[in-house]
Homo-oligomer: A and B are copies of this chain.
Amino acid sequence: MNTIGFDAHDHTHCIADTMQSAEALCAEKGLRFTPVRRRVLELLLAEHRAMGAYDILEVLSAEGLGSQPPVAYRALEFLVKNGLAHRVEGLNAYAACAHLGTSHAPAFLICRSCQLVAEVNGDELSAALETEAAKSGFRIERVAVELVGQCPSCVGKAA
């Protein structure tokens, strides 16, 4: 497991780079990276945390990009389906993908204090699970690993 996400980093680049990758990825797959979809991904990238559909909708609405729930949900569905974002089950919320393009089984470290969400590589983990599950005849299609706790910075601050 390869933990990134809790370190300081150049966030402006982080957003710009990912947006560019997303752009390329959509072009390559013939997907339509429309304004709403683009904006939603930007929003998710801007925070390194999970946002609820209605948080996103609020921003979209303020920017005149749509005011009803389906607008947000459709954009999120598109992003998730195409690997640009993930749904965090435990929060009923969504986070931008941190490993664009690479096929991956993400695992999430979720800070309950600051809501920061770090995506770590869960490939090995998933492979192990896959092997085990296969023994019982279960066919895995989707893996969700979500760890709730406190991030390094919040461990320091609070008791």
Contact = CB atoms under 8 A, between A and B. Distances in A.
Contacts of A146: 89, 143-144
A148 B138 contact: no
Copies of this chain, how many?
2
B136 A147 contact: no
A118 B111 CA distance: 28
Contact of A6 (B129, B137, B148): B137
A150 interface: yes
The range of chain A's interface size is 35 or more
Interface string A98-115: 000000000101011000
A86 B139 CA distance: 22
Given A133-B109, A136-B152, A144 B144 contact: yes
